[in-house]
Amino acid sequence: MINNFKTDRTIGTGVKQKALASQIKGLAEAILLQLLEDLWIDKERSRCMDFFIGEGFSICSEIAGMSSDDKLKILNMVKDIIDQNSGKDKKVRGIRDDRGEGYELVQ
């Protein structure tokens, strides 16, 4: 009988690293999607806004491989959701230049 299952010894290190990187990217994307969803829940909105204001969004969006245009689109979505649900108490400000980018959710 031939064993067709790969064991730890037969899977190359590069393959394992790619699989892990893919899982981490998927986790970052899931975090972003969950927080966008939670913005619609009154009890969760403050925590979600803290995520988008703080470093959490920056870190997750980098891990997810988002472009600066995609980041700005997400922040504009956040702004729209907040405006619709909490009396327009916060705004998103996005700035792009050739050497870097800055995103900020401000009161």
Gap between the Cα atoms of 89 and 65, Å rounded: 30
User: In Å, what is the CA distance from 51 to each residue of 12, 21, 67?
Assistant: 37, 22, 19
- Which pTM was predicted? 0.65
Predicted confidence band of residue 61 (pLDDT cuts 50, 70, 90): very high
pLDDT in tens, 8-45: 555 566 677 788 888 999 999 999 999 999 998 989 99
pLDDT in tens, 44-54: 999 999 999 88
* Spatial contact of 45 and 39, defined as CB atoms under 8 Å apart: yes
At residue 91, the 3 state secondary structure works out as strand
